[in-house]
Each structure stands twice: as structure tokens, then as C-alpha cells.
Amino acid sequence: MSEELILHHYDLSPFSEKIRLAMGLKKLNWHSVIINSMPPRPLLEPLTGGYRRTPVLQVGADIYCDTHLILRALDRLRPDSPALFANSTTQPLCWWWDKATFVPAVGIWASFYGDKLPDEFIDDRKQFAAALDLSKETNEINMPLNIQRINTHLACLIDILADGRSFIQEEPSAIDITAYHTLWFIKHNCKDKAQNFLPELYKPGLLLSWFERVAALGHGTSETLTAEQAFDIAKQAEPAEPNYIKTNLNNGWIIGEKLRVTPDDSGRVPVEGTLIAVDNHEIVLRLSDTKAGNINVHFPQAGFDVTRV
């Protein structure tokens, strides 16, 4: 069981949908732990050291944070399945899309449903990110701005697809599921309400055909696991040796020293641990939790601030 892929996620989360689709693209078997849409998550927090964003991937006593790193980890852990990264341009393209479209997509959704959200959820997201004000009134006012923000990037996507290609790169890849997930969030949750604002997403054409092809990748095959079961798996396992990382200490850090890793945009809860391995892409901290035991928490360096404790 310690080799199995365990995804901690919830249905509404677009970043979780990105990883569910990665499981489909790679035709993987995985275990699904449904978590609350906001903290507290008492059985997950000891494993992540406090990192609060969704989703996270667990493999035994190793925790992978942030979808950009989770996708890279899936290619490394399941090398016999179709690759998510077509070439060296795939990852920066994914970064572009997430940065450009997530916040406006959530704003569009909140303009329709902000008044249906519980106050605790709205308050939680205000703390999560200053840009995520989910009130209906604010987002109704911001609708033209959010539509403009999405449309300019959607136009680039439509330009890429204009030559009739099936996927953004040669084969379905991480950039397809990344471009899909924020658009899915709008279409899936706003249904036809967003039709007049983003007609390209609804009317037959190259974009919609691509959207349907990406949806058809599916979610692979999953089995449900409880949070308790996932916690016990972590407790009984020891973290894997991260010997796939050729450590470089260009930043002057020392293996064994205490570092703090904090997302640089949203959900800025710092995680403190002992440096185990680091290269320009990934940093691994060791946590020693009194209940869960030894855990290695993996972060990408892009999008995270790393400082000494």
C-alpha cells in the first residue's frame, strides 16, 4: 500500500480536477480521500506540516504539494504510463495558464453563487488570498474585468488550436489538463449562466471540441479511502529516499538545516522542516510528527518562498 497513489481532494476544486484528469491521461489506479473544502483537516495537517492548499498527493510517508510538482511526481512514479510533459515548454505553459485564469474564473463563479456560500467559507477564502473576495456583489461589479482577464488568454488558446490540432502539444499533456481545469470550473459550476459572457466555451467549434477531448481523458480508476486509512498508511511507512534529486546547494542552504517553505501567493501557511534534498525544481523537507512519524514533504521551488527558520 505504501506505493499507492493517494489523492486528497474535493469535488469542487479545479486544481483537484487537474490531477484527476492527469490520472485519466496516464490511465492510473489511485485512491481517493475526500477532504473538507476548508480547514480544519485534522488528519491531513500532520502529514503536510500545515500546507493547506488542495490537492495533495500522498505516497506512503511522502507528501507532494502543489499540482505543478504533483504532475512531475506522477511522471517519475509511473514512468510506464503516457508522459504528462511533452517537452521543456510544457511546464512554463502550465504556469502561465494557472496564474492568468484561476482568480478570474473563481470571480465569475462567485458573481453567480457568492450569495449561496456560507459566511465561514467566504471568510476562509478572504484569509486564503486577498484576491479571493467571493461576495456576489463585488464579483458582479468585477464581471467585465474578469471576463476580459479570461478572454485574452482564451484567445491565445483558440489561436493555438486554430490549425486543427487535437491537443495543445503533439500528444495530450499537462498543458491540456491545465488549460481545461479553470474552464471546467466555470462550465461545470456556472452551467449555462456563463454562456453569454464566454460564448466560445459553449458554441460548437475548435475550442469546444478540444474541451470535450480533454474531458474524455477521464479520471482513471479510483477507490475510496478514509482519512484515517490514509493517515495510518503514512504512519506505518517510512519516507522514500529522494535519490532522484541531484542536490545542489546553490542557495547556500545546508542539508540537515531547518528551513521554512511558504506559498508566495495564496494559502500562505509556512511549513517548517529539515532540509533533505533540493534542486532547482523541488525541495524536500523532513517532518517528524509525534503521531504520524517521519514524513517527507515535497514542494516545487517555483511559487514558494524558502527561508531559514
Taking CB under 6 A as the binding criterion, the range among 25-33, 50-58, 76-84, 142-150 that sits at the site for ligand GSH is 50-58
Q: Does residue 55 have a cis bond before it (omega within 30 degrees)?
A: yes
CB contact at 8 A, 5 and 19: no
How far is it, in rounded angstroms, from Cα 154 to Cα 214? 16
Based on CB atoms, which residue is closest to ligand GSH, 26 or 161? 26
Among the listed residues 13, 90, 91, 111, the single contact to ligand GSH using CB under 6 A: 13
Helices (H), 173-288: 174-190, 206-215, 227-236
Based on CB atoms, which residue is closest to ligand GSH, 126 or 235? 126
Taking CB under 6 A as the binding criterion, the range among 49-57, 230-238, 270-278, 279-287 that sits at the site for ligand GSH is 49-57
| DSSP classification of residue 82 | P
Q: Is 282 in the site for ligand GSH (CB under 6 A)?
A: no
Interface residues for ligand GSH in 113-172 (CB under 6 A)? 128
Based on CB atoms, which residue is closest to ligand GSH, 28 or 71? 71
CB contact at 8 A, 55 and 33: no
Based on CB atoms, which residue is closest to ligand GSH, 66 or 176? 66
CB contact at 8 A, 153 and 101: yes
- Strand 221-224 relative to strand 29-34: parallel, antiparallel, unpaired? parallel
Q: Is 52 in the site for ligand GSH (CB under 6 A)?
A: yes
Q: Is 67 in the site for ligand GSH (CB under 6 A)?
A: yes
Q: Is 72 in the site for ligand GSH (CB under 6 A)?
A: no
How far is it, in rounded angstroms, from Cα 77 to Cα 56? 15
CB contact at 8 A, 139 and 105: no
Based on CB atoms, which residue is closest to ligand GSH, 22 or 161? 22
Q: Which residues bind ligand GSH (CB under 6 A)?
A: 13-15, 38, 52-54, 66-68, 128, 266-267, 303
